[in-house]
Structure 1
Amino acid sequence: MVLMVRRFTGTWLCIVLIMVLLSSCGAKRKVAHRNYPAKGSSSRGAVLTDASDSRNKALSGSKMENYANLLGVPVKELRNAPLYSFIDDWMGSPHRLGGMSKSGVDCSGFVGLLYNRVYGKDLPRTSRDMGDNVKRKYENGLQEGDLVFFSFGGKNIDHVGVYLHNNKFVHVSTSKGVIISDIRDNWYYKYFVRCGTPKI
């Protein structure tokens, strides 16, 4: 009987300990929004990696040429070297809801970090709040650095990326991580709901 009580107490303590650990992980997570898989991105996404710090390096000419080719523009049109250095540094980083590091980042976290480090500006934390704080544009008026928004789950904005050139944008796909995709891709275009320049 004593042995059964000890086993029950030990099991109960294990359950309580597991619940405490799980709840503490959840409390630390900054939940931004739900992100959905980029089903159409497999053929359009670019995964280039570079472990060095984007703030302390310039991209080589060949890497800039790679980005120019990917975006379908001459190299001279890629005037914002820090932007492409930041993108290159984060390319391929995996998706993690609420994440803010190269080991895992969500779409709004990535866009917020990009704007802070490349443009020196702070954006709201969630894609929905970012969408509420832009000077809206028509799609044909988009310029490098503008934000593009998607609604995969219904009425509300739940995904954001940064526009580059020729309908291409950089964002975080739940399946591919940080990639460059095309707004006109069938998967993205049907969920594309808004675009504009941050009001900051």
Structure 2
Amino acid sequence: MEKNSGQIITDASNVNNYHRTGNVLNDYAMFMGVKTSDLKNERLYLLINEWMGTPHLYGGSSKRGIDCSAFAVMVMSQAYGKSIPRSSSEQASAVKRKYERQLQEGDLLFFRFGSSKINHVGIYLHNNKFAHVSTSKGVIVSDLKDAWYYKGFKRCGTVR
């Protein structure tokens, strides 16, 4: 997969029409339909932007390829200074659970796709958008309310 040039890569069906300004926070705010002042952790968006388009590699944890749980570990560590387990199922057990309506920037979203246990994780941003590692598109921003993701969505929570 070709690395992006600062463009937000998404598979979300309802994306605000935005024009890249070159300012990461402004770009993400426009993309998600929120005010720039609503974005509380600049490092979070800089990290997502830096890794955007990095391909999926099961078990990977580098720019050559990364999986969803390693991406969550890296973002939680570098953006929030918090340590979480390596696997998405263990991460799901390590968070303080909350209701979907309580989601805030930096919370973790957990999914179950074709398995009996949690097997995917993403980082909540704003307006149902979340960053994660797609098996087909690598690091992208998606919409929780899109049918594919919402069908697999099982729980969410805040890293303690």
Residue 120 of structure 1 deviates from its aligned partner by: 1.1
- Gap regions ≥5 residues in structure 2: 1-9, 16-20
Please list, as runs of the form range in 1=range in 2, the aligned pairs for 1:41-80 lying within 5 A after superposition.
42-44=11-13, 62-80=23-41
1:181 is aligned to 142
C-alpha distance in 2 between matches for 1:61 and 1:94: 23
Q: Secondary structure at the match of 2:23?
A: helix
CA contact (8 A) 1:96 1:104 kept: yes
What residue in structure 1 maps to residue 104 of structure 2? 143
Alignment CA distance shift 1:128-1:105 (3 Å): same
Note the 1:26-41 alignment, pairs <5 A.
none
Cα distance in 1 for partners of 2:79, 2:44 equals: 6
- AA of the residue aligned to 1:132: S
User: Aligned residue for 2:42?
Assistant: 81
| Paired residues for 1:1-200 under 5 Å | 42-44=11-13, 62-199=23-160
Percent identity of the aligned residues? Answer: 53
8 A contact 2:76–2:84 mirrored in 1: yes
Larger Rg belongs to: 1
Deviations 1:31-86 (A, max 9, x none): xxxxxxxxxx635599xxxxxxxxxxxxx863321100111101111121111111
CA separation in 1, counterparts of 2:90 and 2:69? Answer: 10
Deviations 1:126-158 (A, max 9, x none): 000000111111100000000000000232000
**Quick one: distance in 2 between partners of 1:159 and 1:129?**
11
Which sits farther off after the overlay, 104-113 or 71-80?
A: 71-80
Shift of 1:164: 0.5
- The structure in which a higher percent of residues are helix is 1
Distance 1:177 1:45 in 2: 20
In 1, the alpha carbon distance for the partners of 2:79 and 2:103 equals 18
1:163 Cα deviation after fit: 0.3
Contact 1:45 1:180 in 2 (8 A): no
After superposing on structure 2, the runs of 4+ consecutive aligned residues of structure 1 that deviate more than 6 Å are none
Superposition RMSD in Å = 1.8
| CA displacement at 1:194 relative to structure 2 | 0.4
The count of residues paired between Structure 1 and Structure 2 equals 146
Q: Within 2, Cα distance between the matches of 1:116 and 1:45?
A: 30
